[in-house]
Amino acid sequence: MGKELLEKLESIPATLVGGLCLVLSFVLPKVGVVLPIDPAWVTVIISGIPLLVAAIRKLFRNRGISKISSALLISLAMIAAIAIGDLFAAGEVAFIMAIGEILEEWTTGRAKRGLTKLMSLAPVHGRRITENGEEWVAAEDIREGDILRILPGETVPVDGVVVSGESSVDQSVLTGESLPVDKMIGDSVFCGTVNCFGAMDIRATKVGENSSLQKLIRLVKEAEENKAPTARIADKCASWLVPLALLIAIVTGFVTTDITRAVTVLVVFCPCALVLATPTAIMAAIGQATHHGIIIKSGEALEKMGKVDAVAFDKTGTLTHGRLEVCDVLPLDDSTTKETLLTLAASAEKKSEHPLGKAIVRYAQGQNLPLTEASSFTMTAGMGIAAQIADSTVLCGNQSFLEKHQITWKDRVAETADRLRLQGKATVIVAQNGNLLGVIALSDTLRPEAKRMVNRLQDIHTETVLLTGDNTLTAHYFAEQVGISAVHADLLPEQKVTRIAALQAEGHTVCMVGDGINDAPALKTAAVGVAMGSMGSDIAVEAADIALMGDDLSKIPYLKRLSVATVRTITFSITLSMVINLFAVLCSVLGWLTPTTGALVHNAGSVFVVLIAALLYDRKFKE
């Protein structure tokens, strides 16, 4: 019952009612209206009771100096003002504190849906092979050594090793790789990944909490728990504000024998402007960032972004668009044109479900090339396809696939394929009726703003690092294109976390920019996590502190400048509020202010803080 009452008193509607009553308490006597009960009592009850409860709780629950909080000082001032009958002053300090609490809660609140979504990816069933055939079993009942059959389109329920069959597996949930990975006998497969094509049998090697997906979930959970919120500035200052305020109030009352002056000291000493300085500036910065298509989830992230001196990037979907496109169509001789090569390959791949085949068909259709329906179509998982186009047999695949069909290999084709692979490109070799026709290369496409963004970060002395699950050749090729020299490839999620932890152990403040589910632990571990919001996974967006809704990497340097400006604004507001408070304390000691006029001066400091924050909202940052 008590908890529910406090929640109602701390709600926004209740606080607004308290503010209205405070205004009436000040205005009505000025126009000659006297009510039986001062409306400020409503403000004291609504805003003062939660404040008093918070102060008492900290006194009994906290240890050492942390018992002394800003809530304690404001509670003392409120009680003292009530004792001498100045209800407006009592209600004013309580109301300003309540507003600060609401603003701070709004700016620092963060949803926890990401972890729930990640956990929903965990497979719940598997197909176990027994002496009597196949049986569906719950994932938690699978044991090490069990043989499991994974059909096309099914999710791998545990970590294991392929013992029969061949296929291609989508591992993007763990590694972020844009292409499915071919799996043959002896290759490892991971929990949560998706079997794309052929059926395969695996032997379970890691089950339950030891599987890769469960480890990923555990990493996100641990990173969330380890990222404790920063202590409020007002509470940090309270350890010396409360004793100082009490000392000055007591000395003033003893020397002047005027209790009103002592109470006024307590009222003007309240750190309300101090409480408002951080949340109002953060609200203004978050508002401005929203206009630029950036969602900032917490003030802590905004503050830390200004201290970032190293930015780690995922590749696929972050530095690149995350989709395959045809980039090279290379006939082997002059007798075959690019159009002929592309038309044959796209006609053959028209029935393919492989991402490479789909990309070739999409590109050919974009070129308005006439495609022919294949009279027959067969696919060898992880190797290639064969199709009958009119009176010719067309093969599209890798070197092993063509050699399997007794296609004579040419040095020129090998050299071309090797060169393209060094550029991080996937290759499809095309043959017709036993003759090699050419090579089609596909690649993820680099975001046009990526190189300029990296250069701008380096200009402001911020290191850049590439952390990717892609292979080394692809990683180095794209890193070279954008100007990143520090490259770490073939990384699983826990290895990305390790790399970030190592950077932070070296004294760096690291920002991680990513888009995939596999990036979630790294986004949580880094001081600041930035997710590509429009195409990134929901889990990555929830795990991150900041989301780029337009996927515009050029906003990263802007974020850093905005953060620096926000911290400077907060520092200036705190300094100004302290100067005003000290001036008001002096006036209170001299008897120039009463609790009511002191509350108004004290309120003026809060107004200045809000106005300064408004200037931050309208500030223009040069791109």
- Give pTM, 2 decimals: 0.62
pLDDT of residue 90: 82
Mean pLDDT of 50-68: 75
- Give the residue among 100, 55, 106 at the shortest CA–CA distance from 274: 100
| Tokens encoding 414 | 């090998």
pLDDT of residue 236: 63
Mean pLDDT of 147-158: 88
pLDDT in tens, 469-523: 887 888 888 899 899 989 999 888 889 999 999 999 999 999 999 887 778 888 8
Judge whether 183 and 162 are in contact, CB under 8 Å: yes
Cβ-in-10-Å burial (0-12, 13-18, 19+) of 489 comes to middle
DSSP annotation of 462: -
* Residue 86 annotated among the catalytic residues of the structure: no
Mapping DSSP onto H, E and C, the string for 403-438 reads: HHCCCCCCHHHHHHHHHHHHCCCEEEEEEECCEEEE
pLDDT of residue 273: 65
Number of residues that make up the chain: 623
- Give the residue among 133, 200, 188 at the shortest CA–CA distance from 164: 200
Please give the Cα distance from 110 to 229 (Å, whole number): 11
DSSP annotation of 45: I
Edge-first strand listing for the sheet containing 486-488: 294-296, 546-548, 528-532, 510-514, 310-313, 463-467, 486-488
pLDDT in tens, 219-233: 555 544 544 444 455
Give the active site residue among 159, 314, 444, 545: 314
Q: Percent of the chain at pLDDT above 70?
A: 84
* Angle separating helix axes 555-589 and 595-618, nearest 10 degrees: 160
Judge whether 188 and 157 are in contact, CB under 8 Å: no
Judge whether 432 and 393 are in contact, CB under 8 Å: yes
